[in-house]
Amino acid sequence: MQISAQMVKELREKTNAGMLKCKEALVECNGDFEAAVDYLRKKGLASADKRSGRTTSQGLVIPLTTADKRTAAIVEVNCETDFVARNEDFAAFANKIANLVLKTPSVKTAEDLNKLTVDGQPFEEFVKSKIATTGENISVSRAEHLTFAAGQNGIFDTYIHGEGSIGVLIQVKAENEAAAKKSEVAHYAHEVALQVAAMNPMALSSDNITQEVKTRELNIAVEKTKAELISKAVNKALEKEKINPAHVDSEDHMKSNMEKGWIDQETVDKARKIIKTVSAEAAAAQDDKKIRSIAEGRLNKYFKENCLLDQAYVKDDKKSISDLTNEVSKAIGAKIELVTYRRWARGEAAAAEAAQHEKSAEASA
């Protein structure tokens, strides 16, 4: 059967494969269009499998909401290079996945996508088809569908920073339907989305931080406080002997400062003795109760700086996000509540996975 240029063109439009590959497929399949599509898919999928192990740290984070803002989705679709990430076809592909998540309540993780179909083909094959056309490994590292339960009122809002490098999703609950539709609430939700993008909070409030994290951070604060109190005592003793603490704060500094002629060997020997003696004395004299109290104060400050509701509002640092929430509630005459947020930065999921693999490898070594 003769293969016309029109047949090749139509197959290329259907599959995105190269012209020569399309002609080859049609020849191999004796002009059978659907068989040629399957032929190219099989060829493409075979080459895609070879690429599936390559690192994907570029891509797009896409948050979306429905028109009524009652349902939302956020996805991170990754590729290997910034060149592909900026390609319009890749953006359309990623947005198609985001819209699939938006209309599928069962999607709570990226793995849930593998149970779905796209344009009549299994999701995994849909992704592999794109791998075949881009020549790069592509993956969906994260995906989540969120919605308000029946009877609840409120809105979602989104913000995309840096052409998809950071995606933010905000959920604001309102006392009633009328309040949810207020322009002040929409403005508030967007302001909070901008806050989250800029300040990268660790949690909504300290109540959302696990006890494990709180304990770890408290232990860090305790040890840091102990070290600083010892250092303060040592520095005071050094200054009393007319020794600059900055000149003797490490063995390297002692060596380099002697070479520069700033201190001599006698001063170094004296400093070493002071550091050793005073450090031991200060450690033995520490009041654990006092240290814990100082550490808890530091921890509270840390949470205030890193928990969204307690953070200072970036456009007016005299008020917190909690203050802003109350201000808007008062202005509209109905209570609103910041329920949750998502802030996904491109590549952070892959980095976290790599770190976990490295940690596991170290543990098994």
Q: Which two tokens stand for residue 29?
A: 């399949």
pLDDT at 56: 65
Length of the chain: 365
Separation of alpha carbons 315 and 323, rounded Å = 13
Q: Which of 232, 354, 243, 325 is nearest to 285 (CA)?
A: 232
CA atoms within 13 A on the CB side of 39: 18
Alpha carbon separation from 275 to 126, 226, 270, 278, 281 (Å, rounded): 65, 15, 9, 6, 10
158 neighbors 62 (Cβ within 8 angstroms):
no
- Class level of CATH domain 58-208+307-364: alpha beta
Q: Which distant-in-sequence residues (6+ apart) come within 8 Å of 68 by Cβ?
A: none
Q: Which distant-in-sequence residues (6+ apart) come within 8 Å of 104 by Cβ?
A: 112, 116, 145
CB burial of 347-358 (b: ≥16 within 10 Å; e: otherwise) equals: bbbbeeeeeeee
pLDDT tens string for the chain (365 positions)? 789 988 888 887 777 677 788 888 899 999 998 888 878 776 665 455 555 555 567 999 999 999 999 999 999 999 999 899 999 999 999 999 999 999 999 999 999 999 999 988 999 999 998 988 888 889 999 999 999 999 999 999 999 998 899 999 999 999 999 999 999 999 999 999 999 999 999 999 999 999 998 999 999 999 999 999 999 999 999 999 999 999 999 999 999 999 999 999 999 999 999 999 999 999 999 999 999 999 999 999 988 899 999 999 999 999 999 999 999 999 999 999 999 999 999 988 777 776 666 666 556 65
How is 289-342 classified by DSSP, letter by letter?
HHHHHHHHHHHHHHHHHHBGGGSEETTEEEEEHHHHHHHHHHHHTS-EEEEEEE
Separation of alpha carbons 80 and 72, rounded Å = 27
Burial of 171 (C-beta count, 10 Å sphere; 0-12/13-18/19+): buried
Backbone angles phi, psi at 104, to 5 degrees: -125, 95
Q: Which distant-in-sequence residues (6+ apart) come within 8 Å of 150 by Cβ?
A: none
Any idea where the domains of the chain sit in the sequence?
A: 5-51, 58-208+307-364, 211-305
Give the CATH architecture of domain 5-51. Answer: Orthogonal Bundle (1.10)
